[in-house]
Amino acid sequence: MADDLLPVDDARARILSGLTPTAAETIGLSEGAGRVLARGVTARLTQPPADVSAMDGYAVRAADAVEGATLAVIGSAPAGRPFAGSVGAGAAVRIFTGGFVPAGADAILLQEDATAAGDRVRVNESVKSGRHIRRRGLDFAEGAEVLAAGRRLTARDIGLAAASNNPWLAVHRRPRIGILATGDEIALPGDPIPPGGIVSSNAHALAALVRASGGDAVVLPIAPDDTHAIAEVAATAHAFDMLVTTGGASVGEHDLIQAALGGEGFALGFWKIAMRPGKPLIWGRLGRTPVLGLPGNPVSALVCAVVFLIPAIARLSGLPGAPPPTRRVVTAVALAQNDRRADYLRATVSLDAEGQLLVTPAAVQDSSMLATLARADALVLRAPHAPALPAGAEVEAILLAELGV
Amino acid sequence: MADDLLPVDDARARILSGLTPTAAETIGLSEGAGRVLARGVTARLTQPPADVSAMDGYAVRAADAVEGATLAVIGSAPAGRPFAGSVGAGAAVRIFTGGFVPAGADAILLQEDATAAGDRVRVNESVKSGRHIRRRGLDFAEGAEVLAAGRRLTARDIGLAAASNNPWLAVHRRPRIGILATGDEIALPGDPIPPGGIVSSNAHALAALVRASGGDAVVLPIAPDDTHAIAEVAATAHAFDMLVTTGGASVGEHDLIQAALGGEGFALGFWKIAMRPGKPLIWGRLGRTPVLGLPGNPVSALVCAVVFLIPAIARLSGLPGAPPPTRRVVTAVALAQNDRRADYLRATVSLDAEGQLLVTPAAVQDSSMLATLARADALVLRAPHAPALPAGAEVEAILLAELGV
C-alpha cells in the first residue's frame, strides 16, 4: 500500500507550515550567542570613529617623509589618547595601532622604517600618502544595520554587536518544548524496572537535542499507557510552544494517544512516513500547541528528531527551518538498491588518502541499536528506490556533528 | 627577521603541552550533553534483556507456521508485559514490537502476513526460524563499556547512557576561563565612551566562544593600562583554569602586561607568531594558572582564539586539543602568493553547481574589520609561502559553523 506512505519532504513541509516563530524578548548582549535576532542590530557609532593608524610608527606628512629626511617628533597618539595638535611641515607624531591620525598628517611611517633619536626620527623609507591609515567608518558606519533580523548569533556577531555599541538585543524567545514519554513498560534510569520493562532513554536524548538546537526542553514525568494520564498532560500543553511525545505512535498504540489527546482540541493526524527508521509519526495540535508524536523506538525517535524536530525548532526560533544540511561524501562499501522508504543509514566517517570524507554504514542497521547510532558520525541518505551503488560512489549524508547532536 | 616568528603549529603544541585536563565531577545524566567523560560508561543491564520481537505480529513455532496453516492464539505479549506461558505445537501468541518472545516460539509471523479470526490466526506466508527476532544483548550487554572516557557526549550518547541505566556521569569539570580586557580606551557597550575610545567587544565575543567550546566564561571588569590594576586581577588568577587577556599584547604594550603579571609568578613569554591576523601572543603561567594573552584587535583576537584557545579549552576539558578541523574546498577567486606568515582569509562559503563548497575571501582582509569577520563562514588557510593559486583551485578552510563560533 505504497500510497499510504507520506514522503519525508511532504511531511516536513506540512509540519513547518503549521509553525510560527516565537515572540521577541529583550536580552543582554552577553546572553546572545546562539539566539535568533527578532530585530536587526544597528550600529550606534562609526568604527573606526576617525581615521586611525593601522600600524605602530609615526604620523607624518607624506610630502616630508622622504628617505633620509629627519622629522621632529612633537607628541604621541596612542590608541585612546588622540594628539590634540596638528602635524606641520617637518613634524611627526609617534602613533600606535588604533591611534587617531592627527590633523595635518596623511600617512604613517612604520617604526621599522624609521630610526628614533631623542625627539627626532629619521625616515629610512619614503612613505606614500594614505598608507597604513584606516579610514573612518571602514568597519561600519553609525545607523547601518550590522546584523539582520532572523540571524542566529555567533560569537563573532556578539563581538560586532558589542563593538557597534549595543548592550541589548531583541531575540525570539527560545521555543519551549515539552517532552512526554509514554508507556507502562518504561522506567527512569536508576529507578526500579518493571518486569519486561526497559529504561526510558528517549526523553533525555530528545531534551539534549532540543537544547542543542536552541530550544528549552521540559521533560515531563513518564505517562503510563492510560487515557486519563495522557489527557492530564495534554491539558497542560498550552504551556509549550510544542509538545513532543515519544512512544504511543505505533499501530497498536496510536489509538490510545489519539483518544487521550483528541478530547483536548483538534483531532490529531497519524502519518506513516516513507522513511526508515521511523515510519509512524503523529502530527497535530492541542488547542494552539503543535504536537509532534515520535516513535517509541529510540533510534527511530532520534532520526525522526533530526529530520523533523530540529527543523521545527528552527522555524519556531525564527529561522526558516530547512531540511538538515547534507554533504556529498563517498561510500566505503557497496550499497544495495533501496525500497520505497527513504533510508537513513547510520555510518561512521573517516578521511580517505585524498582528504575526502568517506562513510561506512554499520553492517547491521537494526533500528533498535542505540549503540550503533551513538557511534555513528553521519546518516547516509538513500532516497526511495535509489539504485545500488558500488564502493567509491558519491552519496549525500547528514553529518551529525554539524547539527550539534 | 624571519627567525623571530614562531610557526602556528609550534605555538599551539607548546600551549597544549602545558595544559592538564580538569578534575572529574559527578553530574546528572540530564546535564551531560556536551560534557567530556572522565570515566567510561558501563552498561548496567543487557539490551534487549531477552529475545524480543522486531515487529508486530504473532510469536510462533516456525515448523507450524507454514502457509495455509491456522494457529490458536493463546495469549498476547505486548512490550512490557511478557506472556507467562509457553507456545506449544499449533499455537501462537499475539506480539508487538519489543515484546518478549515467549518460550517455545522461534519466529515472528508478521501481522500483514496473517489473517486473524477470533482466537485463531491464519498463516498467509510461511515464516523462517529466527525471523524478526532481536536477540538478547543485540544492542549492548551488561558490563560492556558503551561510552569511553574522553568522549564528548552527544544527545545520542545521552540516550545510550540512559538506556544502559546510568543516571549519573563522571565528567571533567568545565574549564573555568577568566577573560580580562585591558586598555584605558575601551568602554563597555552602552557605557560612556572616553574621548578617542572604542567599545570593548573582545571579552564578550571571547566569552561566547569559550561557552560554545565547553568552557565556563568569567568576564572580568576592564582593567585600565595600569600595572597595579592588572596585578590586582592577576592575583586572582588561581580561581581560573586559564586566564585569557586581550589587549596589551602589541609591541608598545606588552611591557606593561609583562611587568604587571611578572610579579605574581613565573615570567611570561611574548611570542610573535607567523600568522596573520594575530601576530603577537603572550603565553605563560601565573602560579599554576596558564595565561594566554591575545591581541587587542578584535579580528586578531578571535582568529587567535580559533587557532589556539579552542584547542586549549578542549585539552583542559579532557579532549586531545587538536588543531581546528579543516575541509578541502574550492576557491572562487585567484589567490596571491603568500608571504612568510600563515594567513587566515575571512571568506564566505557557497555551493557550486556540483554541490562542492566554494569559498570567496573578502576583497579587503584588513584585520580591523569585525563586520567582515562576522559575515565570514570560513577561514581559508594560506600556509607560509603558499604559491599563487588560480580560481577553482583546492584550498583548506576552517568552517566556523563546525566550531560553533
Q: Are residues B374 and A147, on separate chains, in Cβ contact within 8 Å?
A: yes
Q: What is the domain class of B52-134 according to CATH?
A: mainly beta
* φ, ψ (nearest 5 deg) of residue B398: -90, 120
Per-residue model confidence (pLDDT) at position A2? 44
Inter-CA distances, B220 with A285, B69, B230, Å: 47, 79, 11
Residue-level pLDDT at A1: 41
For residues A402 and B17, give the distance between their C-alpha atoms in angstroms, rounded to a whole number.
Answer: 28
The residues that bridge with B103 in the sheet, in sequence order, are B86
pLDDT at A90 over 90: yes
A302-319 average pLDDT score: 97
What is the mean pLDDT of the segment spanning A287-294?
Answer: 92
Q: What is the pLDDT at residue A198? A: 85
Contact A29 B204 (CB under 8 A): yes
Q: Helices (DSSP H) in B164-276: which residue ranges?
A: 202-212, 227-234, 254-262
Residues of B in contact with A79 (CB under 8 A): 183, 185, 196, 198, 296
Minimum CA–CA partner of A82 in chain B:
B196
For residues B359 and B332, is the Cβ–Cβ distance under 8 A? yes
| Strand pairing class (B342-351; B275-276) | parallel
What is the predicted ipTM?
0.93
- What is the band of B67 on the pLDDT scale with cuts at 50, 70, 90? very high
Q: Which residue from B minimizes the CA distance to A355? A: B328
Give pLDDT, residue A269. Answer: 80
Contact B366 A196 (CB under 8 A): no
Residue B2 scores a pLDDT above 50: no
Cα–Cα dist B10/B20, whole Å: 18
Q: What tens digit of pLDDT does each residue of A241-258 get? A: 999 999 865 555 556 777
Following DSSP, what letter does each residue of A175-235 receive, concatenated?
Answer: PEEEEEEB-TTEE-TTSPPPTT-EE--HHHHHHHHHHHTTPEEEEPPPBPS-HHHHHHHHT
A183–B80 C-beta distance less than 8 A = yes
Q: Which residues pair with A348 in a beta bridge?
A: A360
> What percentage of chain B has pLDDT greater than the value 90?
76
Percent of chain B topping pLDDT 70: 95
Per-residue pLDDT tens digits for B118-132? 999 999 999 999 999
- pLDDT band at residue B263 using 50, 70 and 90 as cut-offs: low
* All three cell numbers of B178: 577568566
Pairing of the two strands B378-382 and B394-399: antiparallel
- C-alpha cell of residue A259: 483518544
The C-alpha cell 599563487 sits at B388
Tens digits of per-residue pLDDT, A68-78? 999 999 999 98
CA distances from B204 to A166, B49, B56 (A): 12, 50, 55
Neighbours of A50 (CB within 10 A): 15
Cβ A344 vs Cβ A380: under 8 Å: yes
- Whether B71 contacts B99, CB under 8 Å: no
CB A387 within 8 A of CB A331: no
Grid-cell match 477470533, residue found: B118
Residue A315 reports pLDDT greater than 80: yes
Exposed, middle or buried by CB within 10 Å (0-12, 13-18, 19+), for B49? middle
* A195 Ramachandran zone, left/alpha/beta (phi>0; psi -120 to 50): beta
Using an 8 Å Cβ cutoff, are B201 and A162 in contact?
Answer: yes
User: Rounded CA gap, A30 and A14, in Å?
Assistant: 36
Condensed to tens digits (0 to 9), the pLDDT of residues A376-389 reads 999 999 999 999 99
Cα B393 to Cα B336: distance, rounded to the nearest angstrom: 12
Contact across the interface for A183 and B298, Cβ inside 8 Å: no
Measured in angstroms, the CA of A189 and the nearest CA of chain B are apart by: 5
> What are the residue ranges spanned by the domains of chain B?
2-22+174-316, 25-47+142-172, 52-134, 327-403
> At B139, is the secondary structure helix, strand, or coil?
coil
Kindly tell me if the per-residue pLDDT of A234 is higher than 60: yes
Residue B107 above 50 pLDDT? yes
Specify the pLDDT at position A184.
Answer: 81
How many angstroms separate the CA atoms of A342 and A381, rounded? 7
* Residue A228 region by backbone torsions, left for phi larger than 0, else alpha for psi between -120 and 50, else beta: alpha
The DSSP letter of residue B306 is I
Contact list in B for residue A48 (CB cut-off 8 A) is 198, 368
Short-list A324, A318, A323, A311, CA closest to A36: A318
CA B54, B59, B60, B66 torsion: positive or negative? negative
Instruction: Give me the mean pLDDT over the A156-182 stretch.
Output: 97
For B2-22+174-316, which CATH superfamily applies? MoaB/Mog-like domain (3.40.980.10)
Grid coordinates given for B185: 580606551
pLDDT, residue A264, reads 63
Could you please state the CATH topology (level 3) that the domain comprising A327-403 is classified under.
Answer: Beta-clip (2.40.340)
| Rounded Cα gap, residues A283 and A271, in angstroms | 7
Owner of C-alpha cell 579549552 = B313
Distance set, CA A360 to CA A264, A299, A315, A334, B7 (Å): 46, 18, 32, 10, 36
Cβ atoms B40, B149 nearer than 8 A: yes
CA A293, A299, A300: angle at the middle one, nearest 5? 40
Query: For chain A, how long is the longest CA-to-CA vector?
Result: 94
The DSSP element (H or E) to which B114 belongs, if any, is strand B114-117
Read off the pLDDT band of B98 (50, 70, 90). confident
Distances (CA, A) of B272 to A7, B183, B220, B278, B305: 57, 20, 26, 9, 15
With 80 as the cut, is the pLDDT of residue B316 above it?
yes
Neighboring chain A residues of B207 at a CB cutoff of 8 Å:
30, 158
HSE-CB of A273 using CA atoms within 13 angstroms? 33
B206/A155 touch (CB, cutoff 8 Å), yes or no: yes
pLDDT at A83 over 60: yes
pLDDT at B151 over 90: yes
The confidence band for A326, taking pLDDT boundaries of 50, 70 and 90, is very high
Which residue matches cell numbers 610579579? B263
Least confident of A371-375, B178-182, B234-238: B234-238
- Cell numbers linked to A24: 521577541
**Mean pLDDT throughout A222-228?**
86
For B53-66, what is the mean pLDDT?
A: 94
C-alpha cell belonging to residue A61: 606628512
Q: What is the identity of the amino acid at A182?
A: T
Domains A2-22+174-316 and A52-134 share a fold: no
> Given this model, what pLDDT does residue B260 score?
75
Report the pLDDT averaged over residues A221-242: 88
- On average, the pLDDT of chain A sits at 92
Min Cα distance A286 → chain B (Å) is 27
pLDDT at B195: 80
Interface probe for A, chosen from B37, B156, B198 (most Cβ of A below 10 Å), is: B156
Residues of A in contact with B251 (CB under 8 A): 56, 111
Domain at B25-47+142-172: CATH architecture: Alpha-Beta Complex (3.90)
> What whole-number distance in Å separates Cα of residue A119 and Cα of residue A112?
17
Q: Which CATH superfamily is domain A28-45+142-172 in?
A: Molybdopterin biosynthesis moea protein, domain 2 (3.90.105.10)
What local confidence, expressed as pLDDT, does residue A203 receive? 96
Which of B204, B306, B326, B396 is the best substitution to test chain A (most A C-beta atoms within 10 A)?
B204
What cell numbers appear for B115 in the block? 489473517
Residue B372 in this model has a pLDDT that exceeds 50:
yes
The pLDDT of B322-340, averaged and rounded, is 95
B265 pLDDT higher than 80? no
Q: What is the pLDDT of residue B308?
A: 97
Helix, coil or strand: residue A162: helix
Residue B329 buriedness (CB in 10 A; 0-12 / 13-18 / 19+) = buried
Average pLDDT value for residue range B58-68: 96
What pTM was computed for the model? 0.93
Lowest mean pLDDT among A166-170, A233-237, B365-369: A233-237
Could you tell me the pLDDT band of residue B234, with boundaries at 50, 70 and 90? confident
Of the pLDDT bands very low, low, confident and very high (cuts 50, 70, 90), residue B152 is very high
B52 burial level (CB within 10 Å; 0-12, 13-18, 19+): buried
Which residues are CB-contacts of A221 (< 8 A; sequence separation ≥ 6)? none
| Closest CA–CA distance from residue A299 to any residue of chain B (Å) | 9
